[in-house]
Structure 1
Amino acid sequence: MKTMIARGVAPLMAALLLTACAAPEFKQPSITTPTAFKESQTAPAAAANDVRSAADGTTWTVGRPAEAQPRGEWWRAFNDETLNGLVAEATANNQNLTVAAARVKQARAIAGIAEADRIPQVGVGVGAERARLSPLEAGLPKGTNVPAANTYSARLSASYEVDLFGRVSSNVAAARGDAGAVEATYRSVLLSLQADVAQTYFRLRSLDAEIATVNHTVQLREESVRVTGRRFDAGDIGEFDLSRAKTELATARSEAIGLQRQRATAEHALAVLLGKPASNFSAPSAPLSDAAALPLIPAGLPSTLLERRPDIASAQRSMEAANARIGVARSAMFPALNLSAGAGGVGTSFAEVFKWSSRSWLLGAALSMPLIDGGRNRSNIVRSEAALEEAVGSYRQSVLTAFAEVEDNLAGLRILAGQSAELEAAVVSARRSADLAQKLYDAGRGSYLELLDAQRNLATVERNAVQLHGDRAITTVALIRALGGGWDAAARVDDTAQARN
């Protein structure tokens, strides 16, 4: 009866031990995802193969790609060859991306180191030594002359840790999770770089358009000073009108100079993104046209955001790694079984080492476990569990931030579109007002202050319209970044990293 009980209890105890030290089963944190973005006009139940056409003819697919799938070259939706070239140049030369690619290599190498513990470690050693023993060491009477002797050896050794309690497998899982997190971070850096290049490029072009608008205002002010000066010389008007005209000209020129400073700063920022010294880079003026077509980007379903965003993928992998490290910490409290073996030969000459009579071998097994560690291992388990809680919190925060960024940019595009419609009407009205004010002033039926007010209002409205169009382009890029980038076809992280070496 006792034997039967022992036979039944032993497997049960072994199972309990294995369960106690293994990594806990990873449970995906619950995240409440809305059925649709509040600001999105896309139907919540859009089909997985729903294809949308942008204003420029570019097609976008509302799909469910996994985060490991390659990102598409989303910037091509803007149909701007200059932008295409800048993104390609930045991808090849940006130093932050070089750092991220190097970290991917390091993480993969660390994962390879952990994987190495799964297989036996085999080594070979060859040695030679010359030594003289004392008579006592040699077991001879005192005063015996013991001559020096040469000893040669060759040995093949092997060792292997039996993964009884999951230390090796948990460590491998943790290293793989870390590598996955770093790879996802690389994709996040790549996406951020591409978006930064596009946004800086559009900011530069928006400044060019704004500078062109202000320069046109300067030309109008210069003409106004000339005309007003002639009328003053002819005695038609007083000095007040001429003084005001000169003041408006100086103010417009000052604004133009200030915009040049902003343009220089944006140009230098673009040079850094491209991996070039700011002193060696200059971007030609290319004002952003009001007629420039911007792609219409469907937001898709909120749930797909968890699959597209590389920063969320990185947080996911970090959670999995933290969960695996709990298993590593638990296994430290249980026995570790190490097997060892060796074979070789020892002789007084190198030829004797390989003779059968000089052979030697050993087989060994060592089982070790801590008895008193002052609570070190228990504290390490608590630390690992707290690290998992931290990773879960970071994951949830990343998801909340992602949803907020998408909603922000969707709302931004909606509001900017409404502003653009109103400003277009305002530009038409302001131009008409300025034209009428000019005619009334020329006919002597209007004051110069009324003319200045109409011209100043027109310049302000036109400048606001130019700024608004740049904001719409920049916000469109921000929405694409918030959605995790395109999802057509692009180089994987392996191909991109290899291309940089």
Structure 2
Amino acid sequence: MRTLALSFAALLLSGCATGPLQQAQVETPAAFTGVDNGATLSAPVSSPAIGVGAWWLVFRDDVLNDLMARASESNHDIRIAAGRLEQSRALMGSARSGLWPQLGASYAASHGAEVGQSKPATGHAIGAELSYEVDLFGRLRAASQAAEFDAVASENLLRDTQLLIQSRVAETYFTLRALDEDQAIVADTLTAYRGTLSVTERRFEAGDVAELDVARLQAEVAATEAQAAALDQRRAQVAHALAVLLGEPASTFDVAAASWADQGWAGSVPVIPAGIPGEVLKRRPDVLAAEAALYGAQRRVGIAKAAWLPALSLTADGGYASGDLGNLFEDAAKNWSLTGILSQAIFDGGRRQAGVDYAKGGLDVAFATYQQTALVAFADVEDQLTDLIWLRQQEAAQDRAVTAATRALAMSQSRYTNGSASQLEVLDAQRQLLAIRRQSLAVRSAQYQATVGLIRAIGGGWG
């Protein structure tokens, strides 16, 4: 465990705006407590080391790969973050320009008459001005560095947005595939119900069963049809959400249905190595963005302090001025000047001190934001690890439940055929199996959701 608090006093008492930065650190646990007996500390063969930016390849799904490529190209949140990065880099270039001399040229023509002149005259002047502010106490350099940190923060916010969109695409895709399987489960059950209803209706017509048996089956068929319609509605909504993530119109977008069992990733959930908390801080783009913002805030405190210190500006002017354009560049028309201005603030009604106080407040905010972002990062990883542990236990229990319910249905059908059980018993067994199969699917889907969540929580890469 290591703890370091920012030394604000040392920073604020420093007279130089480019003094050493106080390193951004936070209390870091030695290991994640949610690791299940070390199961996630080493990646199995199914989860090779994946660099940041291509983590979804671990699922070996061509459809998912295509969706990721389309989202990276057209998602509007990513485009917005990229535009903000361009703005930050432009501001960085503007701040750096203050470290260099500024050169300008001018031409002026005037026509008029002075008092006592009989007729107006025309004058021409051409000149150049070179100005330079001497960075006596590092204020301009600090402004350039602060802009650089802003650009770094924007770059990491772009990476965070990309990771967020990628994880949402994967989560939505797995939700879609789970809905495909859920539809298939309900359709299988509905087919069985309809077959049983057809047989029962014929037996009722022959007088072998009561009308109550027919009514029960009709109710079960209708209820299952309602479930199927609800799944169709839900799948359409999820497909529309996926279209938005890809930056495509929902009206023309769809992903063909596919069986869960046919997917290359369906055999086992990839095991992702969580690593150690310190490595997560180095990979998470939101933490890196908060760190860069913290360093920029430190520099701005120095800039605000430097506003109290003397400023030295140098200006050199030179050119030609003449009443005759043809003689403009003659020696007699030359003029030049060199000016140096040393200025010192004495009283400003509290404006500069207010600037210092504002910068200090910004530093406090940036430091607290960094600490909060780091804590959230650790909690994200712990949440997903914990979810995966309990979901594995639920999966094992659900598998046993599906096996038992399938056996119970087979025995109920056998008893009904032999006349030792009622149709109601068979319906109860079918209803129970349907519910348990859907619950088992929900657990498996949640495992993939939690795996994607873990990948995002550790920064989108491992190994």
The TM tier, using the shorter chain, reads: over 0.9
Compute the displacement of 1:127 (Å). Answer: 2.2
User: Which whole-Å deviations, capped at 9, do the CAs of 1:427-449 have from their partners, x for residues lacking one?
Assistant: 11111110110111121100122
Residue 243 of structure 2 corresponds to residue 243 of structure 1: no
Q: Look up the equivalent residue of 2:187 and give its one-letter code.
A: N
| Partner of residue 352, structure 2 | 377
Structure 2 Cα separation of the partners of residues 277 and 163 of structure 1: 53
Structure 2 Cα separation of the partners of residues 19 and 306 of structure 1: 29
| Partner of residue 432, structure 1 | 407
Give unpaired runs (5+ residues) of structure 2. Answer: 1-11
Compute the displacement of 1:146 (Å). Answer: 2.8
The TM-score, its normalising length taken from structure 2, stands at 0.93
User: Which whole-Å deviations, capped at 9, do the CAs of 1:112-140 have from their partners, x for residues lacking one?
Assistant: 000001110011112222222222xxxxx
Give unpaired runs (5+ residues) of structure 1. Answer: 1-16, 62-69, 136-144, 489-501
RMSD: 2.0
Structure 2 Cα separation of the partners of residues 42 and 437 of structure 1: 42
CA contact (8 A) 1:288 1:470 kept: no
Structure 1 Cα separation of the partners of residues 235 and 39 of structure 2: 42
Compute the displacement of 1:42 (Å). Answer: 7.5
Aligned in 2, Cα 1:377/1:448: closer, same or farther, shift over 3 Å? same
The TM-score, its normalising length taken from structure 1, stands at 0.86
CA contact (8 A) 1:31 1:396 kept: yes
| Partner of residue 82, structure 1 | 63
Structure 2 Cα separation of the partners of residues 157 and 18 of structure 1: 37
Q: Look up the equivalent residue of 2:383 and give its one-letter code.
A: D
| Partner of residue 401, structure 1 | 376
Q: Look up the equivalent residue of 2:99 and give its one-letter code.
A: R
| Partner of residue 297, structure 2 | 322
CA contact (8 A) 2:129 2:317 kept: yes
Q: Which moved more, 1:368-377 or 1:306-315?
A: 368-377
CA contact (8 A) 2:327 2:333 kept: yes
CA contact (8 A) 1:35 1:44 kept: no
Matched position secondary structure for 1:153: strand
- Aligned match of 2:44 in 53, 75, 83? 53
Q: How many residues align?
A: 449
Q: Look up the equivalent residue of 2:96 and give its one-letter code.
A: E
Structure 2 Cα separation of the partners of residues 350 and 198 of structure 1: 72
| Partner of residue 148, structure 1 | 120
| Partner of residue 221, structure 1 | 193
Compute the displacement of 1:304 (Å). Answer: 0.3
Aligned in 2, Cα 1:425/1:464: closer, same or farther, shift over 3 Å? same
Residue 353 of structure 2 corresponds to residue 415 of structure 1: no
Aligned in 2, Cα 1:227/1:157: closer, same or farther, shift over 3 Å? same
Compute the displacement of 1:43 (Å). Answer: 5.4
Compute the displacement of 1:232 (Å). Answer: 1.4
User: Which whole-Å deviations, capped at 9, do the CAs of 1:305-339 have from their partners, x for residues lacking one?
Assistant: 11000000000000001000001111111211110
Matched position secondary structure for 1:374: coil
Residue 104 of structure 2 corresponds to residue 113 of structure 1: no
Aligned in 2, Cα 1:283/1:396: closer, same or farther, shift over 3 Å? same
Structure 1 Cα separation of the partners of residues 39 and 58 of structure 2: 24
Residue 17 of structure 2 corresponds to residue 22 of structure 1: yes
- Aligned match of 2:245 in 262, 266, 273? 273
- Aligned match of 2:142 in 155, 170, 174? 170
Structure 1 Cα separation of the partners of residues 274 and 329 of structure 2: 73
- Aligned match of 2:35 in 11, 36, 40? 40
Structure 1 Cα separation of the partners of residues 268 and 126 of structure 2: 76
Matches of residues 302-341 of structure 1 in structure 2 within 5 Å?
Answer: 302-341=277-316
- Aligned match of 2:174 in 196, 199, 202? 202
CA contact (8 A) 2:40 2:273 kept: no
Matched position secondary structure for 2:261: coil
Q: Look up the equivalent residue of 1:218 and give its one-letter code.
A: L
| Partner of residue 273, structure 2 | 298
Compute the displacement of 1:24 (Å). Answer: 5.2
Q: Look up the equivalent residue of 1:36 and give its one-letter code.
A: A
Structure 2 Cα separation of the partners of residues 294 and 228 of structure 1: 43
CA contact (8 A) 2:318 2:334 kept: yes
User: Which whole-Å deviations, capped at 9, do the CAs of 1:259-314 have from their partners, x for residues lacking one?
Assistant: 11111110001101111111111111123228444321000111101100000000
Compute the displacement of 1:19 (Å). Answer: 4.0
Quote the sequence identity (%).
38
Q: Look up the equivalent residue of 1:104 and give its one-letter code.
A: L
| Partner of residue 81, structure 2 | 100
CA contact (8 A) 2:322 2:328 kept: yes
Aligned in 2, Cα 1:44/1:371: closer, same or farther, shift over 3 Å? farther
CA contact (8 A) 2:273 2:462 kept: no
User: Which whole-Å deviations, capped at 9, do the CAs of 1:19-58 have from their partners, x for residues lacking one?
Assistant: 4252553223442211111112475997xxxx73343xx4
Matched position secondary structure for 2:355: helix
Compute the displacement of 1:223 (Å). Answer: 0.9
Compute the displacement of 1:377 (Å). Answer: 0.9
Aligned in 2, Cα 1:395/1:42: closer, same or farther, shift over 3 Å? farther
Aligned in 2, Cα 1:103/1:20: closer, same or farther, shift over 3 Å? same
